Structure 1
Amino acid sequence: MSQLNQVCYRGIEREDSYTLAAYQAIGGYSAWRKILEEKTDRNQIIEVIKASGLKGRGGAGFSTGLKWSFVDKNNPKQKFLVCNSDEGEPGTCKDTLILSKNPHQLLEGMAICAYVMGATKAYNYMRGEFFLQYQRCEQALNDAISAGLLGKNCLGTGVDVEIFNILGAGSYIVGEETAMLESLEGKRAQPRYKPPFPAVSGLYGMPTIINNTETLASVPVILEKGAEWFAQLGTKGSGGTKIFCVSGHVNQPGVFEVPMGIAFSELLEMAGGVRKGRKLKAVIPGGTSMRILSANKTLSMRMDYEDIAKMGSALGSGGVIIMDDSTCMVQALCHMMRFYEEESCGQCTPCREGSGWVYKILKDMVSGKARPDAVEQLYTVAKKIEGRTICAFGEAISWPVTSFIDTFREEFDYIVANQGKSWVESQVAGAHARAFGWHAKDNRDAS
């Protein structure tokens, strides 16, 4: 496909793509140099980003240009930029390639954003397990500073942009933007109440913009090739490309940067199709915190914010999880909820207590110990969490649970009624019986 890897993954096929020389060979830092040399008006850059249709790639899908405009450029306070490179959402592994294979493009995007908002300091906060990615970003940062591109007095223009790479400690909740600010301040990573929003009172109470890795890495290419070029790659409502991480029951799981709005069927084909020729059963389109979709809803689905929302889910982080017809939905959900039960920060009672109850009920279902009303109990607990927490972690628990039950209710009822035996197992047993001409009724008659 000719439109693969045109933005965030451009040039990564080179073994030395993470070096300054390789990045400059494909035009790297040209947008940043032009801004510094021409002293480009900050509002002009914001308008270009708005026109490009770039939306936040971390999950919210909010207009990037509009977000940048929220910071008062005339405010004399110190301003900060934070790049969210934590990437802890299960099923998501898109940003790690940018950090390890194309770090200079991220740094250039961060520099441009910092310039626009008048920030002299920026932080790239990486997930605690990203050791190689951290080393690559540190090398890239040091090389860019040595070349005069970053740091104090960039290219002798008097513009200061000091960037710091930060390695976290592996917490999932730190991916929530205000929890990340708490961590940067040396505190326990717990979400803050909003308002005030970070653009008004963020890091150390100062105006702060927080953007995702993929979002910021898109910026240099937009300014280099133009807003119209970027916009036409995608759809009317969602410009540019999007990186999708396709995992689960596919023959060739992988990470693909493709035009926004690509047909789901085409993306699935790029991943080699459903494994072993099995039948597609369900899809989670944006990481495990998003609502699950049955296979029939994905037949004509396009991978953009608007179309997936119409189907009842969300694009989220772009972690596309494929499930074939051998999947027990109760067991799959139980596996997912174990993660969320362990990762709740415990600040909000509905999330702290509710996540534990959700996981316990699901464990009882799988082990055959569930109460007769377990499905209703599970659904009720999940609904009680939704909308009652400081951050969206509550929805990350509630949405999967309620959507799994709404879409595959018969599997939940079956496993409760049959003391832990899954509906999928019964279907397989039935198929085998039919294949060999064996029927339960015949067996009873023989006895």
Structure 2
Amino acid sequence: MEVFHRAADLIGLDRRVRMELEEPDYEHIFYVTVKLHTRLLPLPKEEQEKYKDLKDSELLPDGLEPLLDGSFVFKRRALINANVFMRDGVVRLKDKGLYKVLPGRPERFKAYRVQHNQARGPYKGGIRFHQDVSLDLFKVLAAEMTWKTAISDVPFGGGKGGIKVDPKSLSSEEFEALTLRYMYRLKSLVGPDLDIPAPDVGTDANVMGLLLRQYTDGERERHRLRGIVTGKDTRIGGSEGRVRATGQGLAYTIQEWFADRGSVPAGASFVLQGFGNVGSNAAEILKGLGARLLAVNDAGGTIYNPNGIDVTDLISYVYENPSNLRRTVAGYSKAQQISKTDLWDVEADILIPAALGGEITYRIIRDIARNTPRRTATHNSVRYCIGKEVDMRTAAMVLALKRIEAHYQLEGFSQ
């Protein structure tokens, strides 16, 4: 909130408006429960000797869903025409090894929805499913949505929410059940004219479709409620270009930076941190503009090829490869594996940070400035009705606060 307070001081923001914006309107914390399926866990090596004579069990292949930790989620259809040999809850899967059966059980997950401000319109912000989320994080992200919608002058406020869960630890059916249960608990708090969720980390158009289905289930005029979420598939009312929108905006920004200097991105090289929705789409668009990707880092690993990485082929490896459960660039055979710290030493024209917040530390910024010849994006400050030069972030915040303050001045405060 440092930039907020600096901008508020510069423009003499009304004290009551300031207090309205310093904290969220609402902080919702609740729990959702889901029944997890039976799992087959790899048997520890020290316990395998006494089961060496156990016969192979043959189960329907698509009845076992692999997870990142090496376990399998057991689905009932796995028993169709199956031959099962079990002792002490241990089975041997053909060509896979010994596994211990862990019976299904209910699990509880902590869920959130923070509604920061709705002076300019309904709360608006993403749904994040990630193991590291917290109330404090969502408060920050919800406030950022308030500023972003005001800066871009769209009629929304700010909100953010999600569930503390690692989506990759769940089967597809469990993930769907968790998503539906989340909206079941959330329904009274959201609506097309109240609070409109969207995709974020760990969620996508498919999740938005599930949220829409749960919200409209049983409603007489369900098609009038399609505005409950954005980022859904175009076939159920989503917007064209939504999937690539953030990456496209990033590419436009880079294009404009080059244009201001009488140049184009063609021939430039770039390094990318993060290969999710934003990073992968930005890379694909920049490739189309003639730029060359040299290195990529994500949560699973870091890769580098001095001759350039084929973005289309990398996207296929990460997102269309059934054996790549982690959806990571790690293991990509057409580039060398390097350490995360080595990423910052790769010489390139452009560095794109497209990972989660907090990844780039002061030390990394210092090393980038000292060790690499990257061009630095600069900004000529604009005098946003305050009569003095300010940095870009403060100028943007001034714009946001002036627009929000105008609504309070025109509409007043509810008594």
Q: How does the TM-score come out when normalised to structure 1?
A: 0.26
Structure number with the higher helix fraction is 1
Structure number with the higher strand fraction is 2
Q: How does the TM-score come out when normalised to structure 2?
A: 0.27
